[in-house]
Structure 1
Amino acid sequence: MMSKKALPVFALVLMGGILGALSCRGSNENDTLTRQQQLLVGLGMIIEQRHYSPKQIDDQFSQKIFDEFLSSLDGEKNIFLQTDIAKLAVYKDQIDDEIHGRAAMKFYPTAIEIFQQRIAALKPLYHDILSKPFDFEKNQTFQPISDSLDYPADEAADKQAWFDRLKYRTLVAYNDLLSQKAKAKPTDSLSKKSDATLEKEARETVKSYYDRYFDKRFNPATFNATQQFSLFVNTITHEMDPHSDYMPPLDQREFNEEMSNRFYGIGAQLLEKNGAISIESVIAGGAAWKSKKINVGDIILKVATGDAPLVDLSGYEVTEAVKLIRGAKGSTVKLQIKKASDGTIETISLVREEVKLDQAAAKSLIINQNDNKIGYLSLPQFYADFQDDKGARSAVDVAKELKKLKESGIKGLIIDLRTNPGGSLADVNKMIGYFVKSGPAVQVKNRSDQSQQLMDNNDSDGVLYDGPMIVMVNEFSASASEIFAAAMQDYHRAIIVGSTSTYGKGTVQTQLPLGKPNANGMPEFGGLKLTVEKFYRINGGSTQLKGVSSDIVLPDLLESVKAREKDNPTALPWDKINPATYTIWQPAYNQDSVIARAKLRITQNPVFNAITQTNTWMDANENRPVSLNLKQYKADQEKIRKMFDKDDKGVQLKDPLSISIMPVDTKQYLENQDKTKVDFYKKWKTDVSKDVYIKETTQIMDDMISQQKYFASTATGQATQ
């Protein structure tokens, strides 16, 4: 949840001297460390003075940062040795002094130096292990979960740990090849290969994986000083809470793009293939399309902004390459392209243009259920363009979708907020006013215990829809999604359907720009996204940790992922404040009756029963070691495969829902000259029609509509006795 408020004046006053000093410096290694420490001190000051509930930065805090930073570098404990940890232990209680500027910053650069030395030594180690066949007849097990493991005591222990890890990964690849061979036709070359040949190919596959992994993850071009420092600083911010983040300039721009639902680029979708960045599709009307010089399959070798030197994209992930290709509106980007047609290399200059992210925009359609038109509205994110008053706003787009659906004569409305991570507080506040009369939407409290009620911003739009309503959620519906679902539940305005509870993020963040704008229009030193408030339901309870509990629970495989707010050890606690004063909506149906009918139907649904059984099995086997005996491994995997195949097939309806597309959407999405948008919309429509969760939700809505019709007829004396 992002607050529209920002504190740029405070940030610039507090860090003005530091940022000014940094801007005048050069770029040698020692100077970079000096710049980083000065920035670290400034960030520490802001965090301590502005965070909602800052932890004391002392020796205890320092020890946590020590452990967490090493874990962020080596989460699987397959790189550092215990001797390395012992060497670094001298800094274990000094990191707080580094943050406060009382000591030079030594822990982070020393840890990085040792880390890079270990990385350099790993390639010959795993190459040597993978040069020899493995014996998969021994009764041996491997523990993939590394949280409880220790770092290897010495190089011999490290080699053994790598042997076990590589044997496990090779077994996975080998078993896959054996399964493919069993299904292959007698004429296929695969069917003629011996098991020994397949085992060798499996080892080659694992070797190639680790080569790519280390080359990409720790390539100096991508895991550079900026990325290393960002990783260290975010270890500190995340110890305060999981949602406070330091973002270097390119990451800051990427965040703004996600929030605004637009960016400035070349208008092409990229794909990483065999270590190269290639053009997967070209967006009609975009800069690449207009140039007539870039085609699907072309490889982007290098990129630069304006007259800057070209940057080689070898080893880059798509996400990292995208950051370099996108930039400020109207700026020039140079691309060195290898043509797919003839292999020639050409450098092309393009002016970055606006590209709208339609995939994340609000969309709607009509589900036909028992002669009832049910509106289905999908909102993947509460987006808002804070840089442009005329830019995309989720509240504005949702209002348009509601008006279209009402004009189409819907009898009920389903709003799908599954996996919606949240976004703009102002937009969710306004959206609540589309469904209830004027009243409180959410309560907010700052670090000084000052609280306020944010009203639903009911303006000229007024209540846009007053019929039966369901809100769909899951474990990854967070922040603004939870505010909306909680308000609808507290007002008795809608029935909440989905996972046992939503994510549980009840905090508000604000953005602090750090430094003057650079060539791409971003602050020179990036930005700080800082938790400054907590929000509360109008009934007084926080959504922090607990989330919003569904009125009707639909069993979901994501329940076993254990990735909610409550699963994060640095999450802020749950609490409550006084409830607001509000008037409960009086629905024209018996909510208890609808919920009871749905629960009975769900307990009799074989798909949901199978998912419940799978969740129970996954919980019981979460930390179970894996057998490295081929025969036992195959038996275990076959059992798991059958279980998940049953679940995967079950959630895809054999008889799709009947769906209608409104005429205006047919023109916008299906008759669009941009094939990428057409294909995306078609797939989205198909996914909706085959979703077993949406089917059950439409049945719940059908009950709500039927009861409403009954109550209406009873009120006019037309009920059948």
Structure 2
Amino acid sequence: MKRNYKIFLLGLLLAVASCSFTTKKFDPDSDKDEVLIELISFVLSRGHYSPKDINDNFSENVFERYVNALDPRKRYFIQEDIDKLKAYEHLIDDEIENHKIEFFKLSHQLITQRMEESKAYYQEILEQPFDFSKNETINADYEKDQFASSKRELRERWRKQLKFSTLVTYYELKEDENLKKEDDNTYQIQSDTELEKEARETSKKSLDEFYNLVKDLDRKDWFGIYVNAIVEEFDPHTFYFAPQDKERFDQQMSGKIEGIGARLQKKMDNITIVDVISGGPAWRGEELEVGDEIMKVRQDKEKEAVSITGMPLDDAVSLIKGPKGTIVHLTVKKVSGEIEEISITRDIVELEETFAKSSMVKKNNRNYGLINLPKFYFDMEDASGRNAATDIRNEIIELKKQDMEGLVIDLRNNGGGSLSAVVEIAGLFIEEGPVVQVKSGNGNREILEDEDDEILWDGPLVILVNELSASASEILAAAMQDYKRAIVLGSKQTYGKGTVQGIIDLNRWVRNSDFGDMGALKLTRQKFYRVNGGSTQLEGVKSDVVVPDRYSYIDLGERDTDNPLPWDQIQPATYKVWDGYIDYKDAIESSKIRMSNNEQLRLIDEHARWIKTQRDETEFSLNYEAYKNDIEQDEEVAKHFDAISDYTTNLTFTSLPYELEKIAADTTLAEKRKRWHENLSKDVYVEEAIHVLEDLKLNNIKQKKVANLKD
């Protein structure tokens, strides 16, 4: 298919947006932080897709978000402090308009004072042994807690939180001792008194580490938290990068990813996995997954772990990252609620594994193709470099040489990427026509089209998605669904991110000033729309055939974020539905019937519901025997779901001839592909996708235009 340079250039522009704002001048004698507030409000009001009125309601929301960001577990501020801060609850909008930061100054003064005072709480409490035979509980739903009415009440809150964290460690230590005894019956188990003391010392060391990190926070770090409380009121993807954060972002965009190969997000006090990077150490280990919460970090050869609960995200990341070849041990609360220690050898992410890869699938002497696309990659620095569209095209050509009769494109966990790549890939399956509509805040609409009538693959097509298929993934799935070109199989709906962001360098307005580096602002500039006029925002893409997975009942999508832009629709584009199938609806209905009778999916759905109940549980016992009993009961229930990983299909997976040549000379690649094929052979979703391909029948009377492979 010929290169569409218009789409190519637009994709480039969307990836790194620029603002055509009017010139803005600032008072050179102003405070840098005040100038930053003025600059950001200026950029947001003129550059955001849907600027908000900065009024009292806006002010209330910023106030709540900011206070929660400062003290998510409500263990620093007391109500007296909140009352002082509330004097500004309806004045933040006025301060933004007048470029003042009195509210921030007061909040910074109070939080630093209270955090310093809180050191005495944990040091004093952890001096005395805990009585784990006493019957008492703790509710970990801190968001619903009220702020303590007095310092006495605040100290009691600290006591319970410290007792709970120490109990968790105490339980783990006792379990370790029992395992040592099982391995060596001559081993002398430590007494409960010794283990309780060790657990308290671990809690204290963890907090010592935390406060040492907090001590190193500068005023500008706290100010960055305040600024983001303001900008995130516009939408969840608008974000301020302080200068040091912008530098880290640039490194990530350049592909220089080192560490465990996972992206983290902080919500309230918890740090969770939001992306496991294909090819990275965490991905290869197969133990970490999206939704897992990292509780503690232990460096190799160190006995004690550091709790990262409540720790600033950057500090947590710095503990987890490290030189290639070193080992880090993570205490993780799994999606299922179980707590495990996972060891990962740090490495540089292998970029090869972030690219498209394919496999031949054999069933009943028939050949099918499967292409896994982890993201819609595109080389921003080199237009002739490797990109997803070219790689998908090449994989299809190779699969066709093996007499492929149907194709599955796996977009599960694909978080998006280049819009131009989406349009080109869609064009491989349709003659020509619109693929996606892009609307700017000023109402301008642009339709991005495949302008080439060549079809590279005109056979049966299935798109696999899940709740983590986002952005560009949703555009491709939506287009294929609207054209009725493919059957979309997967979660009830995809992630639901239908917005486009751009990075704005804030220094462009202050280059000749003495303010120094002002950082950058990522802000939402445009929205995606399907060719049928509906937005993918919030609603995502609803699968033609819905199948449960472990994320089915937990909050992961755009709809679960704060302040998402709303769903809406615009005028449909003009497009012609694909008429190459004669039984499109019948194939969907047949699949639904199979899925409703599939025992493996029933078990997966049962597991997903159990995971939901585990994650919703907030009340925990501080009595050791009760806590131990709860864990043992959960472990017993979890065993019921071990059968999920025992499932096997009758499908056979093999690499393509060109890759087999590489595998012969590369044992590492051979092992990767072996593991991938083993996982695919247990994948009920892939199995059903092949069933659907079998059911889809082509209208062989229709004249089709087939790609000339010699081009």
What TM bracket, shorter-length normalisation? 0.7 to 0.9
Amino acid at match of 1:665: E
Task: Report what 1:705 is aligned to.
Answer: 694
Task: Report what 2:295 is aligned to.
Answer: none
The equivalences for 1:530-549 within 5 A come to: 530-549=523-542
Task: Report what 1:570 is aligned to.
Answer: 563
Q: Partners of 2:540 and 2:394 in 1: how far apart? A: 29
Q: Residue 472 of structure 1 aligns to a residue in which SS?
A: strand
Say if 1:40 and 1:600 are closer, same or farther in 2 by CA, change over 3 A.
same
8 Å Cα contact 2:536/2:567 also seen in 1: yes
Alpha-carbon offset, residue 550 of structure 1: 1.2
Task: Report what 1:170 is aligned to.
Answer: 166
Match of 2:88 among 86, 91, 94: 91
Task: Report what 1:552 is aligned to.
Answer: 545
Task: Report what 1:490 is aligned to.
Answer: 482
Task: Report what 2:230 is aligned to.
Answer: 236
Alpha-carbon offset, residue 562 of structure 1: 0.8
* Count of aligned pairs: 621
Amino acid at match of 2:202: T
Amino acid at match of 2:435: A
8 Å Cα contact 2:360/2:653 also seen in 1: yes
Alpha-carbon offset, residue 365 of structure 1: 2.4
8 Å Cα contact 1:383/1:393 also seen in 2: yes
Which stretch of structure 1 is more off in the superposition, 409-418 or 498-507? Answer: 409-418
Match of 2:358 among 364, 371, 381: 364
Say if 1:702 and 1:602 are closer, same or farther in 2 by CA, change over 3 A.
closer
8 Å Cα contact 2:259/2:322 also seen in 1: no
Task: Report what 1:377 is aligned to.
Answer: 371
Task: Report what 2:330 is aligned to.
Answer: none
Task: Report what 1:350 is aligned to.
Answer: none
Aligned alpha-carbon RMSD (Å)? 3.9
Residues 1:643 and 2:652 are matched in the alignment: no
Alpha-carbon offset, residue 45 of structure 1: 0.9
Amino acid at match of 2:390: V
- Cα shift readout 1:398-451 (whole Å, capped 9, x = no counterpart): 223333333333222222212222222222122211111211111222223332
Amino acid at match of 2:58: F
8 Å Cα contact 2:504/2:521 also seen in 1: yes
Q: Partners of 2:685 and 2:577 in 1: how far apart? A: 26
Q: Residue 523 of structure 2 aligns to a residue in which SS?
A: strand
Q: Partners of 2:517 and 2:382 in 1: how far apart? A: 20
Task: Report what 2:67 is aligned to.
Answer: 70
- Cα shift readout 1:198-249 (whole Å, capped 9, x = no counterpart): 3333333333333334444x252xx444443332222222110111122234
8 Å Cα contact 1:504/1:545 also seen in 2: yes
Task: Report what 1:252 is aligned to.
Answer: 246
The equivalences for 1:263-302 within 5 A come to: 263=256
Task: Report what 2:6 is aligned to.
Answer: none
Residues 1:146 and 2:135 are matched in the alignment: no
Q: Partners of 1:696 and 1:316 in 2: how far apart? A: 37
8 Å Cα contact 1:250/1:323 also seen in 2: no
TM-score, normalising length from structure 1? 0.77
Alpha-carbon offset, residue 553 of structure 1: 1.9
Task: Report what 2:685 is aligned to.
Answer: 696
The equivalences for 1:122-521 within 5 A come to: 122-186=118-182, 187=184, 192-216=189-213, 218=214, 220=216, 223-256=217-250, 258-259=252-253, 262-263=255-256, 317=315, 319-320=317-318, 357-458=351-452, 462-515=454-507
Q: Extract unaligned runs of 5+ from structure 1.
A: 26-30, 272-279, 282-296, 300-314, 326-334, 339-353, 716-721
Say if 1:481 and 1:442 are closer, same or farther in 2 by CA, change over 3 A.
same
Q: Partners of 1:320 and 1:255 in 2: how far apart? A: 14
TM-score, normalising length from structure 2? 0.78
Say if 1:229 and 1:420 are closer, same or farther in 2 by CA, change over 3 A.
farther
Alpha-carbon offset, residue 590 of structure 1: 2.6
The equivalences for 1:617-696 within 5 A come to: 617-620=610-613, 622-647=616-641, 650-651=644-645, 653=647, 658-666=652-660, 671=665, 678=668, 682-683=671-672, 685-691=674-680, 694-696=683-685
8 Å Cα contact 1:238/1:245 also seen in 2: yes
Q: Partners of 2:656 and 2:261 in 1: how far apart? A: 31
Task: Report what 1:598 is aligned to.
Answer: 591
Alpha-carbon offset, residue 148 of structure 1: 0.9
Say if 1:80 and 1:576 are closer, same or farther in 2 by CA, change over 3 A.
same
Q: Extract unaligned runs of 5+ from structure 2.
A: 1-9, 263-279, 282-299, 303-312, 327-347, 704-711
Amino acid at match of 1:401: E
Alpha-carbon offset, residue 57 of structure 1: 0.8
Q: Partners of 1:358 and 1:247 in 2: how far apart? A: 29
Task: Report what 1:610 is aligned to.
Answer: 603
Which stretch of structure 1 is more off in the superposition, 130-139 or 411-420? Answer: 130-139
Alpha-carbon offset, residue 152 of structure 1: 1.7
Say if 1:167 and 1:417 are closer, same or farther in 2 by CA, change over 3 A.
same
8 Å Cα contact 1:84/1:114 also seen in 2: yes
Q: Partners of 2:79 and 2:560 in 1: how far apart? A: 28
Q: Partners of 1:49 and 1:407 in 2: how far apart? A: 52
Q: Partners of 1:554 and 1:536 in 2: how far apart? A: 25
Q: Partners of 1:656 and 1:246 in 2: how far apart? A: 50
Alpha-carbon offset, residue 543 of structure 1: 1.4
8 Å Cα contact 2:361/2:651 also seen in 1: yes
- Cα shift readout 1:442-485 (whole Å, capped 9, x = no counterpart): 122222333232213548xx322222222111112111111111
Q: Partners of 1:2 and 1:72 in 2: how far apart? A: 35
Alpha-carbon offset, residue 149 of structure 1: 0.8
Q: Residue 508 of structure 1 aligns to a residue in which SS?
A: strand
Task: Report what 1:4 is aligned to.
Answer: 13
Q: Partners of 2:380 and 2:95 in 1: how far apart? A: 35
Q: Partners of 1:568 and 1:575 in 2: how far apart? A: 17
Q: Residue 455 of structure 1 aligns to a residue in which SS?
A: strand
- Cα shift readout 1:654-690 (whole Å, capped 9, x = no counterpart): 6795321224334557745xx9xx37x7346514532
Task: Report what 2:35 is aligned to.
Answer: 38
- Cα shift readout 1:159-179 (whole Å, capped 9, x = no counterpart): 111111122222222233333
8 Å Cα contact 1:3/1:508 also seen in 2: no
Which stretch of structure 1 is more off in the superposition, 662-671 or 57-66? Answer: 662-671
Q: Partners of 1:88 and 1:190 in 2: how far apart? A: 57
Say if 1:298 and 1:595 are closer, same or farther in 2 by CA, change over 3 A.
same
Q: Residue 697 of structure 2 aligns to a residue in which SS?
A: helix
Q: Partners of 1:563 and 1:49 in 2: how far apart? A: 30
- Cα shift readout 1:577-629 (whole Å, capped 9, x = no counterpart): 22222111134463333333433333343432233223334445614412223
Q: Partners of 2:110 and 2:674 in 1: how far apart? A: 51
Amino acid at match of 1:192: I
- Cα shift readout 1:533-578 (whole Å, capped 9, x = no counterpart): 2221111211111111112222112123212111224111112222
- Cα shift readout 1:280-324 (whole Å, capped 9, x = no counterpart): 99xxxxxxxxxxxxxxx999xxxxxxxxxxxxxxx9758459999
Amino acid at match of 2:685: E
Q: Residue 239 of structure 1 aligns to a residue in which SS?
A: coil
Say if 1:399 and 1:189 are closer, same or farther in 2 by CA, change over 3 A.
farther
Task: State the percentage of identical aligned residues.
Answer: 33
- Cα shift readout 1:38-78 (whole Å, capped 9, x = no counterpart): 12211101111221111111222122111101212222222
Q: Partners of 2:243 and 2:388 in 1: how far apart? A: 25
